[in-house]
Amino acid sequence: MPHIIYSAWGSTCPAARPPGSVNNSCKYSDAPAEGHGAPGPSLEQDVLLPPTFSVSEIKNKQRHHYMFLKLKQDRRREKLALKKKRKKERVALGDKAPPKPVPKTIENQREHDETTETDEFAPYFNKQTTPKILITTSDRPRGRTVKFTEQLSSIIPNSQVYYRRGLALKKIIPQCIARDFTDLIVLNEDRKVPNGLILSHLPDGPTAHFKMSNVRLRKEMKRKGKDPTEHQPEVILNNFTTRLGHSIGRMFASLVPHEPQFTGRQVATFHNQWDYIFFRFHRYLFKSEKRVGIQELGPRFTLKLRSLQKGTFDSKYGEYEWVHKRHEMDTSRRKFHL
């Protein structure tokens, strides 16, 4: 008895019917195909048509359950067979096989949003580029600055330290672009003390000029941890609220690769308070569900934004998006720009 019902179901869904199941109902299964093909079927043919059938119409609960399981099994079997067949074809084709289709996800089918940021950092945040950073200094750096550049490059993944060798920045930048660097960091030194930092995003800017102070190297830190590992750190950007702050924050964020390696438990913090940006580098440890321990790894320094320039470094003929003018802007103690 179940066999007959099964074949009746097969007539409605010819694709799902296993091949070789020939029985009485086959006659019926052919009839509707003709009926659909020929326009205006006669009354007699209509009478011959089997009643349309689907699992959901079965009233008997046990029967319905049984049939439904059967249907699912069949579908699965078919799917696996198709998969096997495709795989076989791929192996047969070898290198000539067409590329695998990209699976559809909610992420990659995201609807267009007109407010998506389209600034110079968009390629980084759209995961089209990975940061590659060149760190250099002003000409003839002395002890502390040299050490600082080394420690900075140990923190920033995929960064390289180069000696300046008296080269002009405007000459370095085209070479950097040709070698696919995405950022350029230049440390300035005055009387052996690092006092300035130029951060330039490549290839089309912007360029930020910071005043740097309170540099403390790893060696000078109290209760410091062991040297940082080569894991990609997490980045925390605190309190960058204004439009200008956002662009500066995006600039810092784009120094470090997108996916942090959480196993390293290392975190770089850019904390903005009163327009001073405090940099700290920590390792953390979850001691229990409630307690977390942090250990500073160093170095630490403080930055203050002097200017933001559109385009790559061109201090003479470049156009400035924002320049800090102390006498004009710092009229109120409660006004902050970042």
CB–CB of 148/194 below 8 Å? yes
Of 23, 30, 329, 330, the one binding other proteins by CB under 8 A: 329
Instruction: With contacts defined by CB under 8 A, name the span among 36-44, 94-102, 230-238, 323-331 that binds other proteins.
Output: 323-331
**Which residues from 223-242 bind other proteins, rule CB under 8 A?**
none
Of 105, 118, 263, 332, the one binding other proteins by CB under 8 A: 118
- Minimum CB separation of residue 306 from other proteins in Å reads 11
- 222 contacts: CB under 8 Å, gap ≥ 6: none
Q: Based on the number of CB atoms within 10 Å of its own CB, is 303 exposed (0-12), middle (13-18) or buried (19 or more)?
A: buried
Going by the DSSP 8-state scheme, the letter that residue 14 receives in this structure is G
Residue count at the site for other proteins (CB under 8 A)? 16
**Minimum CB distance to other proteins smaller for 107 or for 328:** 328
**Which residues from 35-64 bind other proteins, rule CB under 8 A?**
none
Going by the DSSP 8-state scheme, the letter that residue 17 receives in this structure is S
Of 146, 264, 318, 336, the one binding other proteins by CB under 8 A: 318
Tokens of 10: 């097969």
Tokens of 68: 């439904």
**Minimum CB distance to other proteins smaller for 270 or for 322:** 322
x/- binding map, residues 86-115, to other proteins, per CB under 8 A?
--------------------------x-x-
Going by the DSSP 8-state scheme, the letter that residue 49 receives in this structure is S
Instruction: With contacts defined by CB under 8 A, name the span among 10-18, 101-109, 136-144, 317-325 that binds other proteins.
Output: 317-325
- 202 contacts: CB under 8 Å, gap ≥ 6: 173, 176, 177, 181, 182, 183, 184, 312
**Minimum CB distance to other proteins smaller for 194 or for 206:** 206
- Minimum CB separation of residue 331 from other proteins in Å reads 10
> Checking DSSP bridges between strand 300-310 and strand 319-323, what pairing results, if any?
antiparallel
Going by the DSSP 8-state scheme, the letter that residue 8 receives in this structure is H
Interhelix angle 61-93/2-12, rounded to 10 degrees, is 60
- Work out whether 128 is an interface residue with other proteins (CB under 8 A): no
Of 99, 317, 326, 333, the one binding other proteins by CB under 8 A: 317
Of 68, 274, 284, 320, the one binding other proteins by CB under 8 A: 320
State the Cα–Cα distance between residues 292 and 104, nearest whole angstrom. 39
Of 72, 86, 127, 243, the one binding other proteins by CB under 8 A: 243
Of 61, 171, 325, 326, the one binding other proteins by CB under 8 A: 325
State the Cα–Cα distance between residues 239 and 251, nearest whole angstrom. 14
State the Cα–Cα distance between residues 196 and 267, nearest whole angstrom. 23
Phi/psi at 244 (nearest 5 deg)? -65, -40
Which residue ranges make up the site for other proteins (CB under 8 A)? 112, 114, 118, 243, 310, 316-323, 325, 328-329
